[in-house]
C-alpha cells in the first residue's frame, strides 16, 4: 500500500493531511506479522518509511519533539499498548514490549520468579556466555532514556512510578530476542537476574544524562532536578511535592546551587583535560612531521651520495687514463669517446682530459657541499625531533597522571551522580 504523493514538499504538506494519510496506513497495516513473541513486536523502521518521509516533509506541531512522538500516538492504540508497555525507537528498529503480570507467593519467590539462582546462572552462561547481554542492554538504553525515561516528559514522581517496569521491559526485549526461552516465568526470572546485576550501572547512566543536560542549562533538566530539595515544592501543574533531597553516601544533601557549582567546575576540568589531549595530539603530529621531513632529507642524502660516488668513480677512471697517456711515448692514441673510437694527438687528448677533470672536480665539490648542507639539516631536524619528543613524553606523562588520578572535582561529581542515581531509584 503506497501513501506517497509526487511533488509534495515541506512547504505544501500540511500536518492535517499527513495525519489522514498516517491514519489510513496504520489502520490497514498488519503489524501482527512482526510479533516475534507474545510479549514483543520487532519491526524495522523501513516498514514505516513512507510515513516517516511524510513527517519529515511537513512542519510538526510544537507539542511533538520529533516524528517519533507522532508515530507513538498512532502505534500505542494500534498495538493496544498500556502504560506499563514499552515502545522504543532504536536505530532503524522499533520494539514494542508488552508487560505481563506473573503470580507470586512471596518476596523471595517474586525476586527470582520461583527459579533457582543456579538455573538463572546456567541460562546466563548458555545464552550470554560472552556477557553480550551487557552490551545489548547498554546499546538500547540510550533510546529508552531519550524516548521514555526522560526528564523532558516525566516529573520525578512519574519517573519513580515507571522506571522499574520500563527497565524490566528493556531487559526482557534482550532476553526474548537473544534466547530460546518461551516460558514467561523464565523470561521474567532471567530478566530480573540480569537487571539486578546491571541496575546500579544503568541508574548511574540515567543520572549522568540528567546532570549533563543540567550542566548545559537545559530548562527541562533544571526543572526536573528542582523537585529534589529540602523543602516542599510545587510544580508548574500545581502539584505539591514533599521534601526529597539528593543524599549521598555520607547523608549530605545536594541542592541546586552546590550541584550547579560542582558541575560547572567538573565541566571546566573536563574541557581542560580535552584541551590537553588535543594539545598532545598536535604535538604528536608536529613530531611525526619532523620525522617525515628528516626521512625525506635522508633519502635525498642517499641519492646525493650515489651521485657523489659516481663522480668519484669517473675521476678515478680519468686519472688512470691520464697516467697511461703520460707514460706513453706515441704521438697519436686511440680513445673511445661517447661510445665511438677516435684517434687523438696525445697532448691534445691529455689537455682535453684535464679540462674534463676540472668539470668532474667542480661537480664533486658541488655534491660535497650539498651533502654537508643536508647533513646539517639532518642534525638540526634531529634537534627539533628531540625537543618535540621531550614535549610529547612530558605531555603524555602528565595526561596519564591526570587520567589515572583524576581531577579532585571528579570525585565530587561522582558523589552527586551516585546520590542522584540512588534518589531516583528510591521508591
Domain residue limits, the chain = 1-99, 106-244, 272-418
pLDDT at residue number 382: 94
Q: Which of 170, 167, 262 is nearest to 215 (CA)?
A: 262
pLDDT at residue number 235: 65
**Buried b or exposed e, range 153-171, using 16+ CB within 10 angstroms:** ebbbeebbebbeebbbbbb
d(CA 202, CA 191): 14
Q: Three cell numbers at 367? A: 655534491
Q: Can you give the pTM of this predicted structure?
A: 0.75
SS3 265: helix
Which residues are within 8 A (CB) of 87 and not within 5 positions of it... i.e. 6 or more apart? 72, 75, 76, 79, 81, 94, 95, 96, 97, 147, 148
pLDDT at residue number 278: 96
pLDDT tens, position by position, 33-81: 999 999 999 998 888 888 888 898 888 998 888 899 999 999 999 999 9
Under-70 pLDDT residues of the chain: 1-12, 104-112, 230-236, 241-243
d(CA 158, CA 314): 93
Residues comprising the chain, all counted: 427
Q: Which CATH class is domain 272-418?
A: mainly alpha
Amino acid at each position: 500500500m503506497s501513501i506517497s504523493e509526487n511533488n509534495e514538499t515541506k512547504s505544501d504538506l500540511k500536518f492535517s493531511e499527513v495525519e489522514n494519510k498516517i491514519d489510513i496506513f496504520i489502520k490497514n497495516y498488519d503489524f501482527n506479522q512482526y510479533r516475534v513473541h507474545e510479549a514483543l513486536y520487532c519491526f524495522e523502521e523501513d516498514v514505516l518509511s513512507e510515513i516517516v518521509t511524510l513527517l519529515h516533509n511537513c512542519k510538526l506541531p510544537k507539542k511533538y519533539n520529533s516524528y517519533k512522538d507522532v508515530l507513538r500516538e498512532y502505534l500505542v492504540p494500534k498495538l493496544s499498548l498500556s502504560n506499563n508497555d514499552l515502545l522504543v525507537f532504536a536505530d532503524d528498529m522499533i520494539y514494542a514490549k508488552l508487560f505481563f503480570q506473573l503470580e507470586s507467593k512471596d518476596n523471595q519467590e517474586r525476586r527470582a520468579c520461583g527459579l533457582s539462582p543456579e538455573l538463572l546462572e546456567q541460562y546466563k552462561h548458555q545464552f550470554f556466555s560472552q556477557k553480550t547481554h551487557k552490551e545489548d542492554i547498554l546499546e538500547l538504553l540510550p533510546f529508552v532514556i531519550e524516548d521514555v525515561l526522560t526528564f523532558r516528559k516525566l516529573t520525578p514522581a512519574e519517573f519513580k512510578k515507571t522506571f522499574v517496569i520500563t527497565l524490566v521491559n528493556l531487559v526482557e526485549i534482550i532476553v526474548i530476542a537473544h534466547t530460546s526461552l518461551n516460558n514467561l516465568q523464565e523470561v521474567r526470572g532471567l530478566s530480573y537476574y540480569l537487571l539486578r546485576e546491571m541496575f546500579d550501572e544503568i541508574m548511574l547512566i540515567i543520572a549522568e544524562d540528567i546532570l549533563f543536560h543540567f550542566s548545559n542549562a537545559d530548562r527541562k533538566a533544571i526543572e526536573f532536578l528542582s523537585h529534589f530539595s529540602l523543602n516542599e515544592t510545587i510544580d508548574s501543574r500545581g502539584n505539591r511535592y514533599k521534601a526529597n533531597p539528593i543524599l549521598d553516601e555520607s547523608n549530605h544533601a545536594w541542592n541546586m546551587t552546590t550541584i550547579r557549582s560542582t558541575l560547572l567546575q567538573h565541566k571546566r576540568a573536563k574541557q581542560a583535560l580535552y584541551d590537553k589531549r588535543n594539545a598532545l595530539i598536535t604535538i604528536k603530529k608536529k613530531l611525526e612531521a619532523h620525522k617525515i621531513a628528516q626521512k625525506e632529507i635522508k633519502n635525498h642524502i642517499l641519492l646525493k651520495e650515489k651521485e657523489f660516488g659516481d663522480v668519484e668513480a669517473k675521476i678515478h677512471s680519468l686519472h688512470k687514463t691520464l697516467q697511461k697517456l703520460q707514460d706513453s711515448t706515441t704521438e697519436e692514441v686511440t680513445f673511445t669517446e661517447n661510445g665511438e673510437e677516435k684517434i687523438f694527438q696525445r697532448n691534445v687528448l691529455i689537455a682535453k682530459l684535464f679540462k674534463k677533470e676540472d668539470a668532474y672536480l667542480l661537480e664533486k665539490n658541488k655534491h660535497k657541499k650539498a651533502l654537508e648542507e643536508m647533513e646539517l639539516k639532518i642534525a638540526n631536524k634531529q634537534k627539533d625531533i628531540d625537543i618535540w619528543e621531550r614535549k610529547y613524553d612530558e605531555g603524555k606523562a602528565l595526561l596519564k597522571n591526570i587520567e589515572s588520578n583524576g581531577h579532585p572535582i571528579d570525585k565530587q561529581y561522582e558523589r552527586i551522580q551516585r546520590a542522584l542515581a540512588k534518589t531516583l531509584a528510591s521508591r
